[in-house]
């Protein structure tokens, strides 16, 4: 049995209560394994601790209990092996789009010449479709273009893992779709492991290999891991025609509308693996046997 690339073991986060009141347990007993190169989305209602889990993986926050291991090493603090994309692009306003990406590349490879740094950064600027606008500052770019710069910057440092917290939430539907396509194209080339938070059910089905479903907080947990057994490459225009699309979608919506509340506060436990393409199975998620789907082509 192969060990997962990312291992989250019995994670728990407790916040102190106001004025000495009862402490708040946001989530507990979160145990998840993610394979190298897997694209995993997380869905759950506000307050279940999705972003806190992402911040713990990123090294931006500490868990109250539990551990996170990536590539066999415990996560302690931030690292360039983990790239983060937030809903807010967080670009440096005084630097151009290209300079923002170059700044990250220089941090990753401090020994590179300026020419090497520029060429590498420009490669990712072109990947996200911003060639010709690389000299513009963030204030001269649209919201979608700024988000593309953020994606280019995260991919340019070639992290082992990419963490995304609702990166397209503030974008209009057309721009969102375009950047989703670009994200899939870059991911298929780079092969990073992806952990992404989203509230968009259709987006999760389009992008991910597995979807983790969290119960409502407080005392939230990861109740199910739904496998998205739809061949790649996937296309937004034809995805809904696939025989399993609505089967998966209806399962996710039912969880969010009904079961996430029913299961909340149950203390967590083994995550139930759901394979809707065949017969549903209950399986301890600790097995971590989730092979990465091909990024291009079918099965």
pLDDT tens, residue by residue, 117-135: 999 999 999 988 899 999 9
DSSP 221-241: -EEEEEE---PSS--HHHHTT
Find how far residue 231's CA is from the centre of its chain: 20
DSSP for residue 256 = I
188 CB contacts (<8 Å, ≥6 apart)? Answer: 232, 233, 295, 296
Q: Give me the pLDDT at residue 203, please.
A: 94
Q: What domains does the chain contain, in order, with CATH numbers? A: 1-81+161-175+192-299 (3.40.50.300), 91-158 (no CATH)
Asked if the peptide bond before residue 263 counts as cis, ω within 30 degrees of 0, the response is: no
CA distance 294 to 197: 22
Burial of 170 (0-12, 13-18, 19+ CB in 10 A): middle
Alpha carbon distance 59, 75 (integer Å): 6
d(CA 44, CA 216): 7
Residue of 83, 25, 44 whose CA lies nearest to 256: 44
Cβ count near 254 (within 10 Å): 11
| Residue 8 neighbours by CB under 8 Å, 6+ apart | 30, 31, 32, 33, 53, 57, 66, 67, 68
pLDDT tens profile 189-206: 888 899 999 999 999 999
Q: Cα Rg for the chain, rounded, in angstroms?
A: 19
pLDDT of residue 90: 82
By C-alpha distance, which of 47, 66, 108 is closest to 83?
A: 108
The answer, as to whether pTM is greater than 0.95, is no
* Element housing 108 (H / E): helix 97-108
The reported pLDDT for the residue numbered 268 is 57
271 in Cβ contact with 223 (< 8 Å): yes
- 3-state secondary structure at position 140: helix
For residue 292, the model assigns a pLDDT of: 38
- Please tell me what DSSP assigns to residue 17: P
Please identify every stretch of the chain with a pLDDT value under 70, giving residue numbers as ranges: 1-2, 265-270, 277-299
Give CB contacts under 8 A, 24+ apart, made by 101-104: 101/125, 101/149, 101/152, 101/153, 101/156, 104/153, 104/154, 104/156, 104/157
């Amino acid at each position: 049995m192969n060990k997962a690339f990312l291992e989250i073991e019995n994670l728990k986060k407790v916040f102190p209560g106001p004025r000495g009141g009862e402490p708040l347990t946001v989530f507990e007993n979160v145990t998840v394994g993610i394979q190298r190169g897997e694209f995993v989305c997380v869905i759950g209602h506000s307050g279940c601790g999705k972003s806190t889990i992402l911040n713990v993986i990123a090294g931006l926050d500490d868990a109250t209990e539990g551990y996170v291991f990536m590539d066999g090493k415990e996560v302690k603090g931030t690292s360039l092996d983990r790239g983060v994309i937030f809903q807010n692009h967080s670009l440096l306003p005084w630097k151009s789009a290209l300079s923002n990406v170059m700044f990250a590349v220089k941090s990753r490879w401090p020994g590179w010449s300026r020419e090497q740094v520029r060429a590498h950064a420009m490669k990712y600027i072109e990947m996200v479709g911003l060639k010709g606008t690389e000299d513009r500052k963030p204030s001269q770019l649209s919201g979608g273009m700024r988000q593309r710069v953020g994606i280019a910057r995260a991919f340019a440092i070639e992290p082992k893992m990419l963490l995304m917290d609702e990166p397209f939430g503030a974008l209009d539907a057309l721009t969102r779709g375009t950047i989703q396509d670009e994200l899939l194209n870059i991911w298929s080339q780079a092969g990073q492991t992806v952990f992404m938070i989203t509230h968009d059910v259709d987006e999760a089905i389009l992008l991910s290999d597995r979807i983790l479903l969290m119960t409502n907080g407080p005392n939230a947990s990861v109740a199910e891991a739904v496998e998205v057994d739809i061949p790649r490459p996937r296309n937004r225009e034809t995805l809904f025609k696939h025989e399993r699309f609505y089967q998966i979608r209806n399962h996710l919506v039912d969880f969010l509308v009904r079961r996430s509340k029913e299961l909340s506060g149950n203390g967590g436990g083994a995550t139930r693996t759901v394979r809707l393409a065949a017969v549903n199975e209950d399986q301890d998620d600790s097995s971590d046997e989730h092979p990465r789907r091909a990024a291009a082509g079918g099965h």
